[in-house]
A and B are shown apart, each in its own frame.
Chain A
Amino acid sequence: MREITLSKAVNEAIAEEMRRDPCVFVIGEDVAEAGTPFKVLSGLVEEFGTDRIIDTPISEPGFMGLAVGSAMTGMRPIVDLMFGDFLFLVMDQLCNQAAKTHYMSGGKLSVPLVLRTNLGATRRSAAQHSQSLHALVAHIPGLKVAMPSSAYEAKGLMKTAIRDNNPVVIFEDKLMYQDKAGVPEEEYLIPFGVANIKREGTDITLIGTSSMVQVAEKAALILEAEGISAEVIDPRTIVPLDEATLLASVRKTSRAIVIDEGHQSYGITGEIASRLNEKAFYHLDAPVCRMGAMDVPVPFSPALEDLTVPTPEGVAALARRLVAGEMLHG
């Protein structure tokens, strides 16, 4: 199977969907000639023109609102939000308008849009360009949240997102754009709400999102050398969440760690851990643990930034203690 970068995978997905459906278009800052600062959309304006790859002024609330109105009236916009940190700017249009329109209208109006943005720290971009804010939108009924962990997921999830008739927020890890993975030539879509077991194991379940899946896989290798068998699962979408797969795994291994790059407190890890606790309680031989990013704004200095995110060694160390039956807290 050919290997392509995550950036190319996203580009392919969008191009294919725009060819398939003339109502799909892209709107955002520097999406046309520039192809976005990350160059993910390069080449699209040449094929589809500036009517369908629309450059906007720096008006996040404005073009988010436009996208909502456009989606309500027959189009299928892909909003490009340059940095996930700008989510705060579009919250009213995304959460008060897009997320609630279908419900408030009793099912008569729909908002089939995709908000494409990113997450991920350790790029030395400092606090306002490094956040992973998917928990904020996962909390809002009416939105769906997808988190591709590789080029393969990125293409498959993006295609589904575009065809889904709801507002979907899709977060790519900006550190992964040049990472390659096997991506079939033939068309494929990845359904929402279906987790992927990346590696089978028996002693502990490691649930990771986005690039934390790779962190979990590396931890699993470290643990394997020590005779500990870790199962690694990628939920792929946070909303909807494939609880059944996660629960089946934890019932098998009786131990779990949830790893996510959002802040540790009040985030994705807490929600997933809580569900595992509730629904797999009598199968737990160790407390379900969370590993998120440190509860600090992302620091600029390289010496500090790298301390704030989960690492394979950190995950392996915690897994070791849980498998040994150590009492972490008195």
Chain B
Amino acid sequence: MAQAGKATAAKANSEEYLRMYTQMVRIRAFEDQANQLYLSAKMPGLTHMYSGQEAVAVGICEALTVEDKITSTHRGHGHCVAKGAAFKEMFCELLGKEEGYCRGKGGSMHIADQSNGNLGANAIVGGSMGIATGAALSAKQLGTGAVAVCFFGDGATAQGLMYEVMNMAALWKLPVIYACENNGYSEYTKTAEIAAGSLTARAEAFGIEAHTVDGQDVLAVNALTQDLVARARKGEGPFFMELMTYRYHGHHVGDINRTYYRSKEEETLWTSERDPITRLGDWLTQEGLVAAADLEAIRAEVAEDAEAAVAYALAAPYPDGSEVDMHVYAATDPATLQPGA
């Protein structure tokens, strides 16, 4: 992971590393709580756990500013937390409560956090690729220097839309980074059985520079992202990243009996030997940057925060029935619809 020459630089970046550690722990804690909420029948609908993929969301989002935009997927809690969302509003949204980020109208699969640049999770596989690319188009047209990151899974590479937008992004050199979270499975099928050829070659076919990185190594992910983001801001985009990662849980929360498509041995390998949080934690203590007790303290505090947020959300009120037909249409200031306005 880190080379000797980077040791000094590492020490200087301790705060950043701790932040990354905390964010990953936060995602893990959030997902554990969300999983429990679902299993104990307290959370309506369906949800998809991000546990195991924390380094991808955190490594990437830590290289972005609040002005940069991301689009997310149905497995979107990790991206949401990583881009700066708070536990309370997230749990409220998952439970359909009024204080949720979307006033309870989006739920797990459509959670969006506009103030932090999260344009939303999407229940349509690949459905947000156009949106991310469009956000990059805006950034270019408005000259903001912002970039857009499109998160999607290996399964989404089967959607035609991906190729249409990568084509246009490449033609117009849009500041968008396509981040493919390759967790080895598209629902209940191995990636190799649904994606012919190479994923990165798909991007390269459009002349888009593509990189593959160990998605469980948050520092590697972060370093790569920082480099690509800087270049994208200068107009050298778009870029494609393939992040090799793993989801610990099933495709969705009810997918418990998975041995027919995924062996227990494989799962144990990833959870015990390739856990991104453990890896960063071990590295930090080995490098003498943080004491193990401090990491433990972070985990304990985050766990408490999560539990408190869940309790809050469970007790929080639902939106009033009168909101059901609100927000179908956005208001337009009538003054703007006059001649000469």
Contacts and interface: CB of A to CB of B under 8 A. Distances in A.
The answer to whether any beta carbons of A and B sit under 8 Å apart in the complex is: yes
Interface of A: 23, 25, 51-52, 54, 56-57, 59, 61-75, 92-93, 96-97, 101-112, 141-142, 144, 160, 163-166, 186-189, 191
13 contacts: A51-B141, A52-B141, A57-B171, A62-B167, A62-B168, A66-B134, A67-B130, A68-B134, A73-B134, A93-B127, A93-B161, A102-B330, A144-B329
Contact of B134 (A59, A72, A110, A144): A72
A96 B124 contact: yes
B337 A160 contact: yes
How many chain B residues sit at the interface, stated as a range, is 35 or more
Contact of A73 (B138, B161, B164): B138
Interface in B95-145: 100-106, 110, 112, 114-115, 119-120, 122, 124, 127-139, 141-142
B103 A106 contact: yes
B307 to A, nearest CB: 25
A74 B136 CA distance: 11
Contacts of A102: 327-330
B120 A109 contact: yes
B160 interface: yes
Nearest to B106: A104
A106 B105 contact: yes
Interface of B: 69, 71, 100-106, 110, 112, 114-115, 119-120, 122, 124, 127-139, 141-142, 148, 160-161, 164-165, 167-168, 171-172, 326-332, 336-340
Given A61-B164, A97-B127, A66 B137 contact: yes
A163 B337 contact: yes
Contacts of B141: 25, 51-52, 70, 75
Contacts of A108: 101-102, 112, 114-115
A106 B137 contact: no
Contacts of B148: 69
A189 B337 contact: yes
B329 A142 contact: yes
A163 B336 contact: yes
Contacts of B329: 102, 142, 144, 166
Contact of B69 (A59, A73, A75, A106): A73
Nearest to B150: A69
Contact of A109 (B104, B119, B128): B119
